[in-house]
């Protein structure tokens, strides 16, 4: 009876949490992004402070402002490139429509089929729109949340200077204070290390893909390189979608199948080599997450928060594992979520 009561309580609590996540995403997602950017800026400040002049003479608030401007300027630059390329591609709609029709007729002649019968109601404009719309939706959502993210970051920076003294007042026992500080430090390093490696790997993948697409002759290769860069933050599924996007676009741009096949082979090979050779060596076992848990987390957060949830799924799950591992009541959950059942610390 007691165990049944615990299961009931856990189920009710789970429903409440999921409901809160779904209906509170408008302010929770910007808060998580603000927290992530705050962590990244803290790590970047540590790197800057290795230069004795900066550490000694440049105030902390100046470094915070400078690094915040750098990060958001970079995001604005990426958004501008994507937006301008989308406008340019929409302007070439007539060319894509003509080439797509030519491709259909060529496939019919080559294979002796009537593909146009199955695609007679297909509108190239809708195909192009379906290809670009998810990208526009995510960009619009991110741009709409930038102001709220900046507000959250401002309060995080203001809270930063007094946070440790507050911890000491809350956890007066030295061992408890040290334990909580270690948890927070581990969270900071795990998330920043993951994002640093993921950014580096995604950049390499996007850059190599853009170069390959340029030589193949695909329109807006830098645009597709940036899309591949962004989609690679989504574990497992992101690399697959990042490969299929430019392949699908090749079917609209070219009146033949060769560019689409070349794109599939070359960009797919880049994804396989970087994702299965380079990334595991850089990441190693630092995330300490089961492969099954990664996929389940991806699906769960994708259902709750869409594409944004997929991008955040690994950092959120890492936070859960680290926190669960520090308390006896939840340590078994952390073991099940971990890669080989071995917990850090």
**Tens of pLDDT, residue by residue, the chain (345 residues):** 455 566 677 678 777 887 888 888 888 888 888 888 888 888 888 888 888 888 888 888 889 899 999 988 888 888 888 888 887 877 777 777 777 777 777 776 666 666 555 555 555 566 666 666 666 666 666 667 788 888 888 888 888 777 777 777 777 777 776 777 787 787 778 788 888 888 888 899 999 999 999 999 988 899 899 889 988 888 778 888 888 889 988 888 888 888 989 999 999 999 888 887 877 777 655 566 777 888 888 888 888 888 888 888 888 888 888 778 777 777 788 888 777 666 665
Q: What is the pLDDT at residue 128? A: 64
The per-residue pLDDT for 287 is 61
What is the residue-wise DSSP string for 168-206? HHH--SHHHHHHHHHHHHHHHHHHHHHHHHHHHHHHHHH
Which pLDDT score is estimated for 209? 93
Kindly list the distances between the CA atom of residue 167 and the CA atoms of 34, 37, 187, in Å, as whole numbers in the listed order.
21, 22, 16
On whether the CB atoms of residues 48 and 201 are closer than 8 A, the answer is no
Burial of 220 per CB tally in 10 Å (0-12, 13-18, 19+): buried
Do the beta carbons of residue 314 and residue 289 sit within 8 Å? yes
Q: What is the pTM of this model?
A: 0.80
> Which pLDDT value is given to residue 136?
67
CB 187, CB 322: distance < 8 Å = yes
Cβ proximity of 285 and 244 under 8 Å = no
Burial of 260 (0-12, 13-18, 19+ CB in 10 A): buried
User: In the prediction, which pLDDT does 207 show?
Assistant: 93
Q: Tell me, what's the pLDDT at 280? A: 73
Rounded Cα distance between 133 and 52, Å, is 48
pLDDT of residue 250: 87
pLDDT of 264 reads 93
CA distance 99 to 66: 47
239 CB neighbour count, 10 Å cutoff: 24
Beta carbons within 10 angstroms of residue 64's beta carbon:
20
Phi, psi dihedral angles at 68 (to 5 degrees): -65, -45
Q: At what angle do helices 291-325 and 174-216 cross, to 10 degrees?
A: 150
- Position 1 scores a pLDDT of 47
Opening angle at CA 142, ends 294 and 15, nearest 5: 50
Predicted confidence (pLDDT) per residue in 204-228, tens digit: 999 999 999 999 998 889 989 988 9
Give the number of other CB atoms < 10 A from CB of residue 250: 26
338: nearest Cα among 324, 94, 251, 254: 324
Are 188 and 315 contacting, i.e. CB atoms less than 8 angstroms apart? no
Nearest Cα to 242, choosing from 212, 299, 202? 202
Q: Of 164, 161, 157, 158, nearest to 182 (Cα)? A: 164
């Amino acid at each position: 009876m007691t165990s049944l009561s615990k299961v009931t309580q856990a189920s009710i609590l789970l429903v409440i949490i999921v409901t809160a996540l779904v209906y509170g995403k408008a302010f929770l997602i910007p808060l998580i992004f603000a927290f992530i950017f705050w962590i990244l800026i803290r790590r970047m400040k540590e790197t800057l402070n290795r230069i004795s002049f900066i550490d000694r003479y440049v105030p902390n608030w100046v470094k915070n402002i400078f690094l915040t401007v750098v990060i958001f300027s970079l995001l604005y630059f990426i958004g501008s490139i994507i937006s301008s390329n989308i406008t340019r591609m929409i302007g070439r709609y007539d060319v894509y429509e003509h080439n797509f029709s030519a491709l259909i007729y060529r496939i019919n002649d080559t294979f002796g089929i009537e593909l146009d019968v199955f695609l007679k109601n297909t509108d190239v404009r809708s195909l192009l729109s379906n290809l670009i719309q998810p990208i526009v939706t995510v960009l619009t959502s991110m741009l709409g949340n930038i102001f709220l993210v900046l507000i959250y970051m401002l309060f995080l920076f203001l809270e930063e200077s007094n946070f440790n003294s507050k911890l000491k007042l809350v956890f007066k026992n030295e061992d408890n204070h040290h334990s909580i500080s270690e948890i927070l430090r581990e969270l900071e390093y795990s998330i920043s290390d993951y994002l640093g490696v993921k950014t580096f790997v995604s950049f390499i993948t996007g850059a190599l893909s853009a170069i390959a697409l340029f030589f193949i002759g695909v329109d807006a290769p830098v645009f597709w390189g940036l899309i591949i860069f962004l989609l690679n933050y989504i574990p497992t599924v992101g690399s697959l979608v990042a490969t299929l996007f430019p392949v699908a676009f090749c079917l609209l741009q070219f009146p033949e199948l060769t560019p689409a096949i070349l794109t599939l082979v070359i960009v797919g090979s880049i994804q396989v080599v970087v994702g299965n050779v380079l990334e595991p060596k850089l990441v190693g076992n630092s995330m300490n997450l089961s492969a099954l848990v990664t996929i389940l987390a991806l699906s769960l957060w994708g259902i709750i928060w869409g594409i944004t949830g997929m991008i955040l799924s690994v950092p959120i799950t890492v936070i859960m594992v680290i926190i669960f591992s520090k308390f006896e009541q939840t340590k078994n959950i952390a073991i099940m979520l971990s890669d080989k059942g071995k917990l850090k610390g």
